Amino acid sequence: MKIAVLSRNPKLYSTQRLVEAATARGHEVHVLDVLRCYMNITSLKPEVHYKGENLTGFDAVIPRIGASVTFYGTAVLRQFEMMNVYPLNESVAISRSRDKLRALQLLSRKGIGLPVTGFAHRPDDVEDLIKMVGGAPLVIKLLEGTQGIGVVLAETTSAAESVIEAFMGMKANILVQEFIKEAGGADIRCFVVGDKVVAAMKRQGKEGEFRSNLHRGGSANLIRITPEERSTAVRAARTMGLNVCGVDLLRSNHGPVVMEVNSSPGLEGIETATNKDIASMIIDFVEKNAKSGTTKTRGRG
């Protein structure tokens, strides 16, 4: 097979592992910087060009599109879909998961466990917004934030009011969520491939830090998840329409709740913590499913 990996940096651990796994199975792999791809949008014969070359003959494309380039990255991926190249994750599914509000609304509609969440731009009654999610302590998030950036824990009502008003002054869209104290600054990353959780790790925030992101100094170790957690992760992935993703869960007093569904999850932390060859599992999934014309959306939406 001829496989394209859309990645800004070929030296990233996740990109290198996917290339290694695919090459080891005899596939031809090309790493393409998504921002250097350009497109000919024309009837009947859509094309993607890269460094002066018309990209043809690809069987599958593996998108590793960072949050900051979602708009352009999904446009390039959509063009591949229109050329009947099989995408590991479809453009519509990636866009859906990157819109935090849309993702939460879709998960809510399917009855999947979530933290109590409020959404606001310029609420007339900040006090009522705080009450709506159960009062302080609570978590305030910028809608566009990633990797724990733009996430604030407000421990008192007055602190919450101050942070919300500050974000409002920036004309920012914010999510206000209940603080799951019982999680103890830890979350669970479930790595889903197809309809299975193939690996899971517990991420623990460093002392005094409620955010568990590994980028912020958190640690990770192997964990055994419950059948309910496994089912929640698979249902969340299916709701987003993602074949491969990381589903971040918190253990709350009312069962597992989904914090986020990540359409481009890193491999280093999960492979190190679980000692599993997840890159090969992803390539195996591509081999079994990469058929021309199987994209559900065919570039629509």
Supply the CATH classification number for the domain 2-87: 3.40.50.20
pLDDT tens for each residue of 261-278: 999 999 999 999 999 999
| Cβ–Cβ < 8 Å for 11, 32 | no
Amino acid at site 199? A
- pLDDT at position 2: 96
pLDDT tens for each residue of 172-190: 788 899 888 888 878 999 9
What is the full DSSP assignment across 138-199? EEEEETT--TTTTEEEE-SHHHHHHHHHHHHHTT--EEEEE--GGGTTEEEEEEEETTEEEE
Distance CA 91, CA 75 (A): 8
Using pLDDT thresholds of 50, 70 and 90, give the confidence band for residue 298: very low
Distance CA 193, CA 35 (A): 26
Domain residue spans of the chain: 2-87, 96-113+182-284, 117-179
Using pLDDT thresholds of 50, 70 and 90, give the confidence band for residue 297: low
Tell the CATH topology of 117-179.
Dna Ligase; domain 1 (3.30.1490)
- pLDDT at position 74: 96
User: Does 214 have pLDDT greater than 60?
Assistant: no
Q: What is the mean pLDDT of residues 192-196?
A: 95
What is the full DSSP assignment across 41-62? --SS--EEEETTEE----SEEE
Q: What are phi and psi of 254, to 5 degrees?
A: -110, 35
Distance CA 46, CA 89 (A): 20
- For residue 47, list its beta bridge partners: 40
Q: What three-state secondary structure class fits 288?
A: helix
Classify residue 165 as exposed, middle or buried by CB count within 10 Å of its CB (0-12, 13-18, 19+): exposed
Among the listed ranges 2-11, 168-177, 206-215, 278-287, which one has the minimum average pLDDT value? 206-215
Q: What is the DSSP letter of 299?
A: T
User: Does 51 have pLDDT greater than 60?
Assistant: yes
Distance CA 226, CA 14 (A): 27
- pLDDT at position 213: 53
Distance CA 70, CA 204 (A): 28
- pLDDT at position 49: 96
Q: What percent of the chain has pLDDT over 70?
A: 89
Distance CA 155, CA 168 (A): 19
Question: Which strand ranges, in their side-by-side order, compose the sheet holding 47-50?
Answer: 37-40, 47-50, 53-54
Q: Which CATH number fits domain 96-113+182-284: 3.40.720.10, 3.30.70.1350, 3.40.50.300, 3.30.470.20?
A: 3.30.470.20
Residue in the structure block whose two tokens are 């993703």: 245
Among the listed ranges 9-23, 36-50, 122-136, 286-300, which one has the minimum average pLDDT value? 286-300
pLDDT tens for each residue of 113-154: 999 998 877 767 788 888 888 888 999 888 765 555 778 888
User: For all residues of the chain together, what is the average pLDDT?
Assistant: 88
Question: Which strand ranges, in their side-by-side order, compose the sheet holding 186-193?
Answer: 219-222, 196-204, 186-193, 244-252, 255-262
Q: What is the DSSP letter of 215?
A: G
Radius of gyration of the CA atoms of the chain, in A: 20
Q: How many CB atoms lie within 10 A of CB 230?
A: 17
pLDDT tens for each residue of 224-262: 999 999 999 999 999 999 999 999 999 988 889 999 999
